[in-house]
Every structure is written in C-alpha cells, then in structure tokens.
Structure 1
Amino acid sequence: MTTTHLERPLAVLVGVQLPGVDDVEHAADLAELGRLVQTLGFDVIATVSQRRSALAAAAVLGEGKLKELAELTGGSGVVPSGAPERKNKARARRAAESGEDDDGALGGDDGEDDGAAADGAGQRAARRATVVAVDHDISPSQARNLERATGAQVLDRAGVIIEIFHRHARSREAKLEVEIARLNYVAPRLRETGGGGDRQRGGIGGKGAGESALELDRRKIRDRIAELKQELGAIQREQSTRRALRQGQRRVALVGYTNAGKSSLMRALTGSEVLVADKLFATLDTTVRALHPEVRPRILVSDTVGFIKKLPHDLVASFRSTLDEALEASLLLYVADASDPTFRDQLGVTRSVLSEIGASEVPSRLLLNKVDRLSEDERDALRLEFPEAMLLSARIPADVAALRESIIAYFEASMVEAELFLPYAKQSLIGEIYENARVLSEEYGDEGGRLSVRAHPAALDRLRSLLAR
C-alpha cells in the first residue's frame, strides 16, 4: 500500500535591484519575500534578480530575464500584444500541469547565473512554479503582462502580505480590516473577461448601453467596502469604550517587526496562551493581559500586530484601531530580533509606522531579543552600540524576570502618595480604588474611611473625580 505525500506548490521570487539599493539590502529584501511566500504555503525554488535603473514598464524585467523566468514556469517568455485573456488562462492551466525540465534561476545582471538557485530548481525538474512573487508594488498591467509571459499567477509584495493577513485573521475585527484592504487591492486589478460587452442595457427595447461587467463588479466592491466599514465602525466603537474603561491604568504595548518575538515575550510576562509561531504575521489580533504575577495596581500588557517593510498603506489604515493600543499605552517596548543582521532597518520601519499614527511621543524602551543566538562578543558589541537597550531572550526565565522588574520600576518611579476620603455612601467604589491604586493604610470614622494610597497621578485624578460626584 502506497501513501501519497501532498506537495506544496512552487514559487519563484523576482526582484529588481534599483539604484541606491546595495547588495546586502537587496538580498535581505528577497530573503524576507521568500519567508512571506513560505508563510503563504509555497516552496521557493528559485530567485530571478536583475539590476536596472527602473522596473521595466511592460513586465518588470528585461526581455532576456523574462524568458529565463518563463523557463521556470513553463511560459512563453513573451508578452503577446492584444492576446485574448481567455487564451492566456488556458495556457496558464496547461503550463501549470506540464512536466518539462526546469532551468536554474538567475541573479545579478543579465547572464549571471545563481548556482544555488539552479540546483534547487533542478531537484524539482518534474514540476513547474505556479506562482511568481515580485518584491515590488507593480501595476495591474505589469502583473497581467507577467502572467501572459509566464503562464503563472503573479503576486506583488503587497498582494502577498494582504493574502497572509487574510488567512491569519481570527477575530471579527481583524477579518473586517483585512477584507477592506483586500477589496481595495483587488478593485483596480479587475479586468474585462473575454466575452466583453455590456452586462446590462438600458432604454426601451434594450437600446443604449448600461453598466459593463467590469463597472458592475467594481460597484459591487464599493458597496461591499461601505458595508464592511459600517460594521467595522460599530466594533471599533465597542473597542474604544473598552479602552476608555482602561484609562488611568498602567499599560505596556509590545511593538516591533513581525517575528521579532513579541508573542513569546507576551506569553512569558503574562502567562497567557497566546499563539507563538516561527512565521511572519502569526499575530494579527491585539491581546491584552495583566502582568503575572499580578501587582497592584495592575499593569496591562498588549501584544500588537507586527510591522514589515513596504507594508501596504491600506493595511496600515485598516489596522489603525488595533495600533491605537500603542498610541494609548503608558510605555512602548520596542522588540527587535538581535540575531537578524537587518534588525536596525527593521527598527526604523517600526518607528516610521508608529510615527504615522502619532505614537512616536509615547515613552519607550528598546528590547534586543533572541540574544541566546549570539556569541558573547556580539552581545558586547550590541551593549556598546545600544547602551540604553535591554538584551534578553524570551526563553530565559531570568531575563524575563529582569524585564518584569524593570517594567514595575518604571511605573513605580512615577507613582505618588495621596489620601482619599471614601464616604460610606460610596463604598461601591472601594473595588475601583484597589484596582487603580495601592492602598497603604485605611482608617474609618463616623462618615467614612480615609485611605492612604500610592498611584499614578492620572489614576488619582480619575479616582478623585469619581469620589466627588
């Protein structure tokens, strides 16, 4: 009896090294795109790279590189002029099912072979890549021309990220946010089917042109986006109410590049069962938990969605409410994967996105995570370069304990002592006081109790306003 192994579909990466982008940065961008594509469920068999002053207007790559790319996908390597769309789709299906031999992927300038990529492609000679992932934002016409030349599905970087978000969204809010971004991405990429013509015709006896199929599809998308925004607005109002109830509480937000280890730190600090996975964008939904073991008043820790280079603007806009957790936090913990050679650029991306939403003024600390993967010399170099940062690993309990103590110490430094008078008529507020302040002593007289407390000034102001009502 034989068992069949379900093979993952294959993909080819495409990147153009533009002026001003050095070899290290270009390689890092392509490596990150490869991880994104793998997260999407594809195996990367090759990379096609080319140095150019700009993306080719027709199909991103030059003619020579386009033909070499087509050898990996089974396409013709030529952009047919005016070819009917339905014929291209039929050819794409035939190409995906063909079993011709693969050639190696190419890197650098035209004619420069990447041996490692070629070996990887040769090992899968019986199969063709069915997806081409381009490390740039490309126009709908460029994507269409690439599909015609390669016979494969084409996704640009924004399309890959949006598709990952679509698959990983769990809460209703995240699903709505991603669907809005997805529809905004799809709308300009719609095109007429091979049949053409009008779907509806107006006037008596069918005279006069009505909406075309393309126009009707785009109108449906606009209507759907409006419905989703209305539903999302209701959910966000509920979220705003919950955040308002947490006003005055001590809040810490973990922010940083995707896969920097935020969820691992969240689990270690709070004891919560949040998802931890070694893949990009494993977390899309903001999780809020209390620091564990608990302190009084409580310190709330939130895990936020990760950032990435060239994050589509629609996604930044859609997840603005989720990122409000960072905007309204008392302290931001910037988490970076110190074992990643590009973490400095990743920190820049994180700070840039947070600056867009106005969170750059929130007090912050830098955490260089995953230092257990570094040598002692590398750690010493980081200490010299980032003297204000805390070096730690979420896997080392002692490091997590030190981080917890530093968070508590940060809030302790801003707390002040005060006295509150609690009338017997307002004894229902005693829980609110214990929730937002540390009660040092209590004395009760004929009219009520005098409580000596230690709390943050904002929390004291809120408690005093409640007692004064």
Structure 2
Amino acid sequence: MPGEPVEADPLEELHGLATTAGTQVVDELIQRRSAANHSTYLGKGKVEELRLMVERYDADLIVFDNDLSPAQVRNLEQATGARVIDRTELILDIFAAGARTHESRLAVELAQLEYSLPRLKRMWTHLSRQAMGVGMRGPGEKQLEVDRRIAQKRIHDLQAELSQVERRRERQVAARKESPTVSLVGYTNAGKSTLMNALTDADVLAEDKLFATLDTRTRRWQLPGWGTVLLSDTVGFIRNLPHSLVASFKSTLEETRQAELLLHVADASSATVFEQIAAVYEVLKELGIEEKDTLLVLNKIDAIESPAVLNRVLDRYPNAIPVSAQSNKGLTMLTEAVGEALGREFLDVEVDVAVTDGKLLSYLSAKGEVLSREFGDQITTVHVRMPVAAMGPVHKSAKDIRPIDDPSRRTMPMGTVHHDDVDVGDLPMGDAPSEVA
C-alpha cells in the first residue's frame, strides 16, 4: 500500500492468511509505487510479470494484500487468466470456514454480502441476461437488479436478526455483572487462547494459525485473593481488519465492550510487535473502548532469542507484563497485576448479617471472596471482598456494612508490578518453539 512503512517481509502475514485459508503459496510479487494504477492496481510491467508467473506455476488464484475495486479485479483476471481476490475477501473466507455458532455465521454472512453487493456483476455470469418468459414479455428486468434486491433484502434481514442477538447478548452479559469480567484481546495468533488455558485450565482450542478463535469463550477464573472472575476470549484482530467484520461481530465482542479490564496480549517475539499493538488499539478505538482499563501482556517470551529484543519492547511499554503462557513463566506477576487493577472495582468490607439470613450468607459466598467469619448470638460478621456491582442485595439485607481500609487485612499484596519477577537473562539464546494461539 502506498505510504506504508517497508517491512522486512511485507507478505509474511498474507502468506499466513493464505495458508490458513487452505491454499498452497507458490510465489510472491511485490511492487512499491507512489500511487496505485487506477485500472489494474499494479503497473503494466508488473501485470505482465504476474501473468507469466501464473503461467509458469499453472496457478489458479492470485491474492492481493490490498483492497481492490471491482473494476481492478475484473481487469486483472482478464490479463492473467486466474481468479483474483483481495485481502478482505481472503479474511472473509477464513471467517466463513471458521464460524461455528449461529451468531458468528450470521455475522460472517452479513459481512460477505456487504462486501459482495457492489461486485455482483463479476460474480455471476447470468447477470447481464434479461428475464424472459410467460408473463414477462418485453425488455423485462435485468437479472442483476433482481439479484441485487435479493441481496439487499437478505442484508436487511441479517442486520435485524443480529440486532436482536446483540440485545440478547447485552442482557446475558449484564445478568452476570456480579462477577467481574476480564477480556483477552490482541492480534491474531498472539497466544490468547493458550493464555486462557494456562490461567483457567479451560482446554479451549489453541492452534498455531491465524483466526483459530472466532466465537467468544468465557470461563471462570479463580483469581487468588479475589475469588471468581470471568475470563473471556474472542476473535483476534489484524491490521486493516475489514470494517464490515468489526460491525458484524459487534454482538460477539459484547464481552469485551462490557469487561471491567482488558488484557491486551501481544506476541513479544514478533518482528512486527509494535505494528500489531498499534493495530489492536485501532480496532479498540473503532469499537469505542480504547479508554477502557487495559494491561499489556507481552507473551511468547520463551521464543525470544535475545534479552535485548524483550528490553526493546519494555523500553517503549515499561508497564507491560512479560509472560510465557506455554511455560507459565510470569503468570504469578500477571495475576497480581490483574488483582491490583480490579481492586478499583471491588470493596473490602465487613458485613453484619442476621444469623437467620442464610440467603445473604450464601450470596456473599457465591458473589465475593469470604476472608473470615465471626459468629455471635444474633449477628454473623463476614469479612468479604465484593464486586461493587454485586453490592445491591447486600445493602438491602445487611444489618451493617463497614469498609476495611487497613492494608494489612488484605490477603493479596497490591504493590507495583516489577519486571524483575521475570529474569530476561534466562531467555533462550537459540531457537525456541513459538507458542500456539
């Protein structure tokens, strides 16, 4: 793309996307120019080079790491004799193959239709014909217009159905707000699912490929010193993520939008880690949640060959937390940091409860972390750490509520996170297996 910085391997990510989609990559072609050609995107010389490449390998598909106009696709296909797709169509294809739930299938279908609508003419060979037959004498109506109206009607229906799904999801998430939610976000293949497995023993799918996770998964996480926390994992982000996908997956990302805390997982071993971090923040901005409390987690430190590589990232992001979800390194530091961040959402209180009020005693145990109990003849005093959102029933039924401000009574240290807890000198100096995502 004109104006973008030159990367060491600018097609590495496209290669990964194509492999994830099930294609076999046989060759690559790169052109740098100040402006794209209006009719073919590439210059004439590069188009001819591409045609010869297709002929040499007998290739049947060309994938561009850019968004192409319908006219550019048509002209390139005529010039090369092979099918041409752009980056957005490739990502949509991967999402369509990976969608498992009804909700994600609806979102993918909507995004595909919105992408395909202006391209209907090239997708179907019959669209230039006119409908004729009994009751349709005369010029009739072009099949293109019929198909366009069908697509527009389907888009409207999908938008309405996804709107209902979104409202239902909002109610579901709101119904369990008594437990704080921590959401994993990050670039695709950064190791979010592996980290979720390490923290919760969730056994969710974790594969070394792009977009292994499309549907939101939420598991209970017993956070030391805090009790039950809901940890959610959803679709990974990518640079230039199609806007239609972000809009279509709004309901799927509801857990992220309503979470008290985001864990932004980044692949610290990637040569493009800074670009990936920036791309995730761009998507969060598009979702309207860029201001949400976020902890940056630098994953895959076991795959870093030199401590200088990690130090380079920490110099830019000094509050980031280096971990390896695969080897469990740094997870203690991460849980302490999460506890400290969530402390702003919790109350440490003593609650006086009537000994006959078994319902409130059960509620305190279910929704908070009971640290101690003192039993009297008429009153049971419970020292509990409770989410602020769960205090409504407590205020209604408790005999008395007293805040605990003495730090010595807390069960978990709330100090500053120190990177010294991870010794970068212990990082492997040779090749290390990269952790799956």
For the Cα contact (< 8 Å) 1:254–1:333, is it kept in 2?
A: yes
Partner SS, residue 111 of structure 2: helix
Matched, 1:169 2:169: no
Question: Which residue identity lines up with residue 256 of structure 2 in the other structure?
Answer: A
Structure 2 counterpart of 1:397: 328
Matched, 1:43 2:24: yes
Per-residue Cα deviation, 1:10-49 (whole angstroms, up to 9, x for no partner): xxxxxxx52x33332xx54422111111111112111122
CA distance in 1, matches of 2:36, 2:396: 61
For 1:133-172, list aligned pairs within 5 A: 133-172=63-102
Report the TM-score, using the length of structure 2 for normalisation: 0.83
Structure 1 counterpart of 2:277: 347
CA distance in 1, matches of 2:353, 2:141: 69
Question: Which residue identity lines up with residue 129 of structure 2 in the other structure?
Answer: G
Partner SS, residue 418 of structure 1: strand
Pairwise CA distance, 1:61: 1.4
Structure 1 counterpart of 2:308: 377
Pairwise CA distance, 1:425: 8.1
Deviates more, 1:321-330 or 1:410-419: 410-419
For 1:56-455, list aligned pairs within 5 A: 56-74=37-55, 102=56, 127-191=57-121, 193=125, 196-199=128-131, 206-292=136-222, 297-374=227-304, 375-412=306-343, 415-420=346-351, 422=353, 427-439=358-370, 440-441=372-373, 443=375, 451-455=382-386
Per-residue Cα deviation, 1:252-293 (whole angstroms, up to 9, x for no partner): 111111111111101101101111111111101111111147
Partner SS, residue 66 of structure 2: coil
For the Cα contact (< 8 Å) 2:21–2:93, is it kept in 1?
A: yes
Structure 2 counterpart of 1:31: 12
For the Cα contact (< 8 Å) 2:369–2:385, is it kept in 1?
A: yes
Distance 1:445 1:200, change over 3 A: farther
CA distance in 2, matches of 1:162, 1:195: 23
Q: Which has the higher contact order (CA 8 A, sep 6+)?
A: 2
Structure 2 counterpart of 1:110: none
Pairwise CA distance, 1:183: 1.1
Unaligned runs of 5+ in 2: 400-437
Distance 1:294 1:379, change over 3 A: closer
Unaligned runs of 5+ in 1: 1-16, 75-101, 103-126
CA distance in 2, matches of 1:467, 1:320: 39
For the Cα contact (< 8 Å) 2:223–2:229, is it kept in 1?
A: no
Distance 1:300 1:294, change over 3 A: farther
Instruction: Output the aligned Cα RMSD.
Output: 2.6
Number of residues of Structure 1 aligned to a counterpart in Structure 2: 395
Distance 1:334 1:206, change over 3 A: closer
Per-residue Cα deviation, 1:53-77 (whole angstroms, up to 9, x for no partner): 2221111112211111111223xxx
CA distance in 1, matches of 2:174, 2:194: 27
For the Cα contact (< 8 Å) 2:368–2:385, is it kept in 1?
A: yes
Pairwise CA distance, 1:361: 1.7
CA distance in 2, matches of 1:182, 1:426: 55
CA distance in 1, matches of 2:132, 2:188: 46
Deviates more, 1:158-167 or 1:437-446: 437-446
Using the aligned pairs only, state the percent identity: 39
CA distance in 1, matches of 2:341, 2:295: 10
Per-residue Cα deviation, 1:333-354 (whole angstroms, up to 9, x for no partner): 1111111111111111111111
